[in-house]
């Protein structure tokens, strides 16, 4: 998903395109990784003095609800990234050091129905965690 598409979708759903909301969304979309609310606060602290975690989390919740941002949890902390541009079903490798992500094509769920006869899977989330090549070299 592109930033302009995300911004339009928010507007279409009745959310105002405030400068603060747009800047938060833009920051998330510029990253190729999951970011924390703290990352967003640090990135925007000079422009928006006193930007609170409440404001950031309220906007992040809106972004997730409108489906323009994805959320995961690492080390007990929620992290956010822009919604993938690919409409194709896929999953992610997430670097535990730098937070960069890489798409993984294919899905382990293809084999699950064999193990769950009679069950109806309604949703799933599959993520692989480790170190990317850059972080692995820097050990």
Both tokens of 47, joined, read: 């422009």
Model confidence pLDDT, tens digit, residues 68-114 = 999 988 888 899 999 876 667 778 888 888 888 888 887 777 777 77
Q: How far apart are CA 131 and CA 138, in angstroms?
A: 10
Which tokens is 25 given? 């969304």
Residues in the annotated binding site for Zn(2+)? 95, 98, 132, 135
Residue 133 confidence (pLDDT) above 80: yes
- What is the reported pLDDT for 128? 86
Average pLDDT, the chain: 88
More confident residue, 74 or 28: 28
Binding annotation for Fe cation: 89, 110, 124
3-state DSSP assignment of residue 61: helix
Binding-site residues sit at: 89, 95, 98, 110, 124, 132, 135
Q: Which carries the bigger pLDDT value, residue 3 or residue 116? A: 3
Order of strands, sheet of 101-105, starting from the edge strand that comes earlier in the sequence: 101-105, 90-95, 127-130
CB crowding 45-65: b at 16 or more within 10 Å, else e: eeebeebeeebbeebbebbee
Measured CA to CA, the distance from residue 118 to residue 100 in angstroms comes to 38
Of 18 and 96, the structure prediction assigns the larger pLDDT to 18
Q: pTM higher than 0.85 for the full model?
A: no
């Amino acid at each position: 998903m592109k930033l302009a598409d995300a911004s339009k979708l928010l507007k279409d759903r009745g959310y105002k395109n405030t400068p603060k909301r747009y800047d938060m969304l833009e920051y998330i979309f510029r990253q190729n990784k999951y970011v924390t609310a703290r990352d967003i606060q640090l990135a925007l602290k000079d422009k928006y003095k006193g930007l609170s975690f409440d404001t950031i989390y309220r906007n992040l919740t809106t972004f997730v609800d409108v489906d323009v941002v994805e959320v995961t949890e690492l080390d007990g902390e929620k992290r956010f990234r822009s919604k993938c541009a690919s409409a194709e079903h896929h999953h992610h490798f997430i670097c535990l050091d730098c937070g960069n992500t890489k798409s993984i094509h294919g899905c382990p769920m293809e084999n699950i129905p064999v193990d769950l006869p009679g069950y109806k899977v309604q949703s799933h989330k599959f993520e692989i965690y480790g170190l990317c090549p850059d972080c692995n070299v820097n050990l």
